[in-house]
Amino acid sequence: MGVGRELRPQFPIFASFPEPLHYLDNAATGQICAAAAEALWEFETAARANVKRGVYRLADQASAAFEAARSTMASYIGAPAPDEVVFTSGATSALNIAAHGLAERLSPGDEILVSVLEHHSNIVPWQLAAKARQAVVKAIPVTDDGRLDLDRLGGVLTDRTRVVSLTHVSNVTGAVTDLARLRAAADDVGAILVVDGAQRAPHGPIDVKAIGADLYAFSAHKMFGATGAGVLWGRSAILDAFPPLLGGGEMIREVSFAGTTFAAPPHRFEAGTPPIGPVLAMAAAAEWLMAQDWSALAAHEARLTGRLLDGLGSLPGVRILGPTGLQQRLGVVAFEVDGVHAHDVCQLVDQLAGVALRGGHHCCQPLMERFDTIATARASLAPYNDDDDIDALIDGLERTIEMLQ
């Protein structure tokens, strides 16, 4: 039994799904692990109460569990203090908080640097911030093999750059960003470095200090937790200066008609009732992730990625968008079949072989334009995937090509 097969009993869907499931849509949503599902169920059925306000025992217990989850997430990403962890509804919400907060620092003509690799969630919030402050959004180009073209960084990074916001791992090409080089470049112009870690978070513990991020965002549902939760981590000095994005309960210090004062971070950014159950599930997923052997899992994923790349490369009319080697990439592989729409590819591979893929522009339309396509199919790996999943995909895709070409 391989590494991936050994982990499958810890993911309930593989026992409950009525037919064999080759789930390769992990970049969109990972399957929930049993530990996270149990934490969610336990809270909702045996420990449910609102947090932060109640003084009865059940509410006290819920509040304590919620804050313990904050400490767990701080440990997962190597944050210096739990109060630097802001709970959000996901990476999109986290990036919007970051963009809203950093907009306060922008003056007309200032620049925000993103890249052509970015998910729309790391483009649109910055466009909104730029419009509000009369700033400019610029983008680092992408190479033919789907990596940031850092040799052209000097053409887009200037002394007016105030924010550099980039993906840690591309959700289309799987390329891992050279954050050390970008941290140094941001330091040269005094810019804040924001990192979208949504695709990196499922692949083991993170050290935000070591990678040099000032702000880091990710979602629970990609790291084998429940939907509806995420994290924005930020350095204390940065979060302290941020205005709140949302107003309402729990983010205030005092409210009167003469004016309102706000709570200190992280509570300033957690207006209203937070996603308590999903947060507790996220912490349980993080604990599960921290207990794994990531040396073995990284080798397992790299081997499967190599098999996936080789198998796709052997099929007629298939073009891979992204690195075709294993260096500085994770198991996210987008591809297109000549003359066949990605949606047709995904539907037929599912019907013929029980393989779940993603088809579309993957919320990366500028990148699709860069590669002169409208949509691609995408296979993405998780620790529970194994050789059978790769074999099923290649077999199903081969049959799909024979049918449609």
Positions marked active-site? 363
Nearest by Cα to 200 from 225, 221, 176, 172:
176
Instruction: Give the amino acid at 352.
Output: L
DSSP string, 3-55: HHHHHGGGSTHHHHSSS--EE-BTTT-PPPPHHHHHHHHHHHHHS---SSS--
CB 225 within 8 A of CB 36: yes
Alpha helix ranges (H) inside 78-142: 91-103, 124-133
Q: 70-97 burial, b for 16+ CB within 10 Å, e for fewer?
A: bebbbbbbebeebbbbbbbbbbbbbbbb
Q: What φ, ψ does residue 49 adopt, rounded to 5°?
A: -165, 155
Distance CA 292, CA 403 (A): 42
Nearest by Cα to 395 from 30, 20, 18:
20
CB 224 within 8 A of CB 13: no
Query: Which residues, at least 6 apart from 16, have a Cβ–Cβ distance to it below 8 Å?
Result: none
